[in-house]
Amino acid sequence: MEKEELKMVNKGQEDEMELSGYRLCRWKLALVAVGVLCTGGFLLLLLYWMPEWCVKATCTRTTVRDAQVVLLRSTDEFKRWFRAKVRVMLAPGRNPYISLDSQTTTPMANGHTPHPSDTSADGFIRKYAEYQPVQIRYFTLHSTKYYWNDTIQNFEVLTGLEDIGVRCSTIHLEHSAGLRQDQQEYRRLFFGVNEIAVKVPSLFKLLIKEVLNPFYIFQLFSVILWSADEYYYYAMAIVLMSVISIATSLYTIKKQYVMLHDMVAAHSIVRVSVCRANDEIEEAMSTDLVPGDVMVIPSNGTIMPCDAVLISGTCIVNESMLTGESVPVTKTNLPNPSPAEKGAEDDQVYNMDEHKRHTLFCGTNVIQTRFYSGELVKAVVVRTGFSTAKGQLVRSILYPKPTDFKLYRDAYLFLLCLVGVAGIGFVYSIVLSIMNQVPAKTIIIESLDIVTITVPPALPAAMTAGIVYAQRRLKRLGIFCISPQRINICGQLNLICFDKTGTLTEDGLDLCCVHRVENGSFHHTEENAYKESLVKSHFVACMATCHSLTKIEGQLSGDPLDLKMFEATGWILEEATEEETSLHNRIMPTVVRPPKQLLPEPVMSPEQDMELYELPASYEIGIVRQFPFSSALQRMSVVARLLGEKRMDAYLKGAPEVVASLCKRETVPQDFAEVLEDYTKQGFRVIALAHRRLESKLTWHKVQNINRDHIETNMEFLGLIIMQNKLKAETPGVLEDLRRANIRTVMVTGDNMLTAISVARDCGMIPPQDRVIIADALPPKDGQAARINWRYADNPSKHASKAATLEEVEISVEDSPEERKPKEQYHFAMSGKSFAVITEHFQDLLQKLVLRGTVFARMAPDQKTQLVETLQSVDYFVGMCGDGANDCGALKRAHGGISLSELEASVASPFTSRTPNISCVPNLIREGRAALITSFCVFKFMALYSIIQYISVTLLYYILSNLGDFQFLFIDIAIILLIVFTMSLNPAWKELVSRRPPSGLISGPLLFSVMTQILICLGFQTLAFLWVRQESWYEPWTPVSDACNTSSHTNLSENFTEIDEHNIMNYENTTLFYVSSFQYLIVAIVFSKGKPFRQPSYKNWPFMLSVLSLYMFLLFIMLFPVPAIDYVLEIVCVPFKWRLTIVVIVVVNAAVSVLVETLVLDVVLWKLAFSRDKQGSYGVLPAAPPPQGGLDYCGSKHFSWLCCQRRRVPKARYMHLAQELSVDPDWPPKPKTTTEAKPPSLPENGSYQIMSTS
C-alpha cells in the first residue's frame, strides 16, 4: 500500500495542520461493527471521542491524492485531531480565475451526474454542457474548504484575489470592468455563497453532543447501576442535577450561538449594485458576490458584505467592528501606476495589510462616499464569506483554541489516580465476595458500586459552582466574561501588557503649546495658535488643512489628534453637499476658513465698510487633494489652494524625525534634535509641520494623479505642535499595587519610543533610579549582517557614577533582604521594527530581551500578538489590557485579555470592563486567585469525600455489609451538595499579595494536604471499626439485639427483619456512619482556606450556617436518638457510653486534621512552595521588598532543611533564564556596543556575537 510523508496545510499560519490520507477498509469496518455489538455501543462512543482512533480503526493509509478521509493534527501545543470526509465536485475547470472561453472544449458523450451535494453545480454544468467537466476533490473543516491542487500536490484554501498575486495596476486594468454572469457563477462553485453562516444548531443536536460528554456517560452508567441496586433516591437526585446542568449548558451555548448569529446576520445580506463586463449595472443580492466582482458603493453608505478594494472615489468608514476604534477612517482609491512606472516599485502586489488604506473590510460601516460627477465609487471584491476579516474573527470565536491550564490537566491525572484506587477496591470486593460465596449479581453490582463511589459523579457540577460565583462577583465589579474557564487562569497572571493610549493614558490629546520656526530657528513657545497675528501664517494654514476630518450629520468627526489640532485654530470647515458636487465637472473641495473675528480689520472710512465686510469672507483655503496618514510612512499631507491664488500649496504633518528628513536642511533648526528629545522625554506627543509652494504648472488634474513622493519633498520646516496625553488618575496607583504583588508590567504601544519611555517613568512602570537600554536593531543590508546597536536612554538620576556598576545586577535566590545590596536595575526598550529584526535574526536573544523588556513602542497589531506568544514561551502567565483598538489579536492570545472597550471588537476578548481604566486588572486577578483557590478547595474536598466513603464501604464489605440507601442519600445530598455549593461562596481577599497560588493540583503542598487527610481519616475510621468490635457489649447485630437495654428499640427493630437483606443494620455501620459524617464536615472546614487569597470562611455565612446546622443535627441524633430518624437512616441503637466515645474520636480527628493542615502545611510546606515562586528571588524585576517579603525569606531560610541544601532549579523558564543571566559577565550589553547576527554557516556558538564599537 502506497504511503507518503505528512503534508502540511496552512503552513506558517496559526491554524497550521499535518494532513494524512486514508481509504475506507471493509474488513476493518466489519471488525469495528462486531466490537460495537460486543461492547454494547461503548466502542462507538470511544471512537466518537477519539477521531484518530476512529480513522485508524476503520481505514487504511493511502496517498493524500487518493484519500477518501483525511486525518489532520494541529501543530500547536495542543496537538488536536480532526477528521474530514473528502468530497468530489464537478466543475468546467480546475482554476476559478481562468476564463471559461480559454478552456479546451471536449463535447461530452453521455452527460454526467454531478455530486449530489452540489445542486448549484448541476444546473451550471448542464448550462455549459460542451465543457468537459473535471472532478475536483475537496474537504471542509471549520467552515473552510480545502481544494486539491495538482501542481503543489496538496490541499489548499482559496481565499480570494490575493491567491493569484495581482498587482495594483492589474486590478485597475483587468479587474475594474467586472465579471460576466457565467464567470460569476463559475467562481461561486469554488468560493461558495458570500455569507458568514453561523448555523444555530438545533436543541436536539446540541443535546446529543452535550450528553455524549464522557462524564455524563459515566453518570448514566452510575444511575443504571444504582437503579439495579435499588438505590433510586440518589439516582434520581443525580439525574435531576444532570438535567439541570445539561439544561443550563444548552441554554448558555444556544444563547451564545444566537447572539453570534444575530451579530453576524444583522447586515450580512444586503442588496448591492454590481458592474458587469458589458458596462451594465445590475442589482443583486450580496450573497451572490465572488472575488473579482465590481460593486458600486452607494453614496448614502452601506454595511460592507465582503472585503473589497476601492478603485475609484473615496469613502469614510467606521471600522469599530474590527478595530474597536469608532473614529471614522478615510479610504482612498488604490493607486494606479502609469504605464511608465509599471516596472517601478510603485506597482506593488496587492496585499490587504499593506493596502488597508484602500480596502473596505467586511462588516465595517461605509458612512459617506465622495465621487466625481458621472463616475461611481467602485470597489473590486477581494474576499468573501469566512475568508474576510470579519469571517476570520467569527471563525476564531466559533472554533476557539482549547484553554491549556495546568489545573485541568492535573484534574484529569487526579481522576486517573482515583480510578486506580477504584480498581483496587473493585478487585478487593470481588475477591472478598467470592471467598464468602456471594451471588454473582451482588458481586457485579457491589464491585462496580465501588467505582461510582471513588469517582464522584457530582464533581463537574461542584467545580463549575466556584466559577459561576466568581463570574457573578466580576459582573458586580463591572467586568463581563464570555469565557468563564479563563477566570481560574487569571489567578496565575504574573505579567500584564498594557496598551498606552486610552488604557494607561487618557484617550484624547490636549494641545499643550506650539513651537514655531522662523528663519531656521525656534521661536519662543506659544500657548495656542488662536491669534490674529498668526491667522494668515502657513503654520496655522497647515493646522487647519492637514487632517482627515469630515462632517457627519453636521458634526466634525475624525482622528482625535486631528480634531484637537483643528479646534485649536478656531477655524470653520465646510464641505460640499452631494447636490453641489453633481453640478460641477469635478469634485468640490472641502473648504476651511478662519472665523471673522480673527481676521484683521484695518480702520477704514465708513463708505468702505461694505466692501471690507466681504473681504474676510474671501480668505478661504480649499483642500484639493489629500494623502491620508500612513503608519508605514508616519505622515500625511494635503494639497490646498488659497482662494484667488494661482499656485497651490502642499502642507505636511507627521512624526518629527520623518518630517525633518523631508525638509530643506537650512529650514530645520540646528537644535531640532535636542528640543525634540526634551519634549519626548517629558512624555509629550510631538507633531511636526512643513509647507511647500507648488509649481504653477501643477494643475488640478495633474495634482489628482500625482504621486505623493513628488509632493512630499523639499519642504520648509514650520515648527512643532506639542500635544499632551495625560495619565489616567488611577494608573500610577494600580501599577504600584501590581508592582507590590510582584506582577511585572509591560507597555505595548503604537506610539513614539521616547514618549512611551517617559510615560513608563511617569506612571511608575520604570522606577526613577532604573536604567533604560534601547535595543536598536537593523536588518541585513548591502552584504552586512543584521545588527543591534545598544544605547542607553537618559541618565535615570543624578548618580551618574552608578553607570559603572550597571552590569553587576545581582540575582539572589536565598539571601535575606538585609543581605541584598541595592544594585541598579535595567529595562530594555525597543521599537516594532527592532522587534521584527530580533524575531527573525536573533531568535535566541529574543527570550533574554523579553525577560527585562518593559517598553515596546511602534508595535503593529500582529507584533503585539507575537510579543504575547514570546512571553508565554518563557512560561509567563500573560494578561493583556487594551482599549480594543488594534489589540484584538493580543487580547485573544493572552491567558487573560481585558478589553476596556464595549464595542463589538470586545467579542475577541475573554473579559470586557465597563470601567474605562486599568483598575479592573487587580480586581480580575484577585477574583481569579479566589476562584483558583476555591477550585483547589472543592477538588480536594470532593477527592476526600469519595475516599472517606470508599474507606467506609471497603471496611463494611469486610463484614459483608454496606451503607444504607438513606445513609448514602443523607451524605451525598444533605452534607456534600450543601457544603460544595456554599464553600465556593468566599469572596476574594481585599488586596493583591506578593505571592501566587500554585497553578496545578500536582504540587507538593497540595498532595501533602490530601494524602495526610486521607491517612488521618483512614486511621480514625479503622480505629472506630476495630474498637467497636472490642467492646464488652458487642455481638453481631440481630433484630432482637438490645445493646441499649431499651425495649422500645427492640420493638422498633422488629420492623427491619423483613427488609434488611443487605445486612445494613449493625454496630459497625452505625459507628462508621457517624464518624464518616463528621469527617466530611471536618475536611470541609480544614480545606476551606481564607487569607491571603479569599476572605476568611467565617465571613461566608451560608457555609458557616450549613456546617453548624449539620454539626448540631448529627450531634443531636447521635446523643439523643429519634426513633423515626433511626428508622429512616437504618441506624441501630448503641450504648450512650459508646456514643460519647464516638464524640471523643471525632474531636481528636478534628484536632489532628486542623493541626496538620494549618501548622505543618501552611507554615512549613506552603511557605517553601511560595518562596520558590517569588519572582523577586530570581531577580526578574523585583519590586521594592513587599510587605510579605521578609516573611518569605524567613520561611525559606528557616525551613530549608526540609529541602535539599543545594540551590533549587526553578521550573519556570523565565526564572531559569534569569539565573543564567545573573552569572553572565556580558549581560546586559554595554552602551555603544553592537551585537551582530552570525552568518548561517557559523551557528555553533549561538546566532550572534557582541562587538565593541567606539
Q: Where in 878-981 does DSSP place strands (E)?
A: 878-882, 896-899, 911-913
What single-letter DSSP state applies at residue 1132?
A: P
Q: How far apart are CA 1132 and CA 990, in angstroms?
A: 49
Strands 649-654 and 635-642 come out as: antiparallel
Residue 405 is placed in which grid cell? 491550564
CA-wise closest residue to 909 among 937, 879, 936: 879
**Are the C-beta atoms of residues 915 and 979 closer than 8 Å to each other?**
no
Please tell me whether residue 1152 adopts helix, strand or coil conformation.
Answer: helix
Strands 590-593 and 59-62 come out as: unpaired
Please tell me whether residue 711 adopts helix, strand or coil conformation.
Answer: helix
Q: How many CB atoms lie within 10 A of CB 662?
A: 20
Q: How far apart are CA 986 and CA 1101, in angstroms?
A: 9
Intra-chain end-to-end CA distance of the chain, in Å: 66
Rg (CA), the chain: 37
Within 8 A by CB and 6+ apart from 1110, the residues are 974, 975, 978, 979, 1077, 1081
**Are the C-beta atoms of residues 347 and 158 closer than 8 Å to each other?**
no
Strands 826-831 and 853-857 come out as: parallel
Would you list the DSSP string of 37-102? HHTTTHHHHHHHH-HHHHHHHHEEEE-STT-SEEEEEE-STT--EEEEE-EEEEES-S-TTS-GGG
Within 8 A by CB and 6+ apart from 1188, the residues are 993, 994, 995, 1092
Q: Which residue has the cell 511647500?
A: 692
Q: How far apart are CA 807 and CA 236, in angstroms?
A: 69
Residue 12 is placed in which grid cell? 506558517
- H or E stretch covering 125: helix 119-127
What single-letter DSSP state applies at residue 12?
A: T
Within 8 A by CB and 6+ apart from 1093, the residues are 491, 926, 929, 930, 932, 933, 988, 989, 993, 997
Q: Which residues pair with 535 in a beta bridge?
A: none
Residue 403 is placed in which grid cell? 484553554
Biggest alpha carbon distance in the chain? 132
Candidate list 15, 499, 887, 1126, residue with the active-site label: 499
CA-wise closest residue to 317 among 569, 557, 583: 557
CA-wise closest residue to 751 among 807, 842, 692, 829: 829
* Percent of residues in the chain assigned helix, strand, coil, to nearest 5: 45, 20, 35
Would you list the DSSP string of 1069-1129? HHHHHHHHHHHHHHHHHHH---TTTB--GGG-HHHHHHHHHHHHHHHHHHHS--HHHHHHH
Strands 787-792 and 896-899 come out as: unpaired
Active site residue 262: no
Q: How far apart are CA 711 and CA 694, in angstroms?
A: 8
CA-wise closest residue to 191 among 234, 157, 227: 157
Q: How far apart are CA 456 and CA 458, in angstroms?
A: 5
Q: Would you please indicate which residues are annotated as catalytic (active-site) residues? A: 499
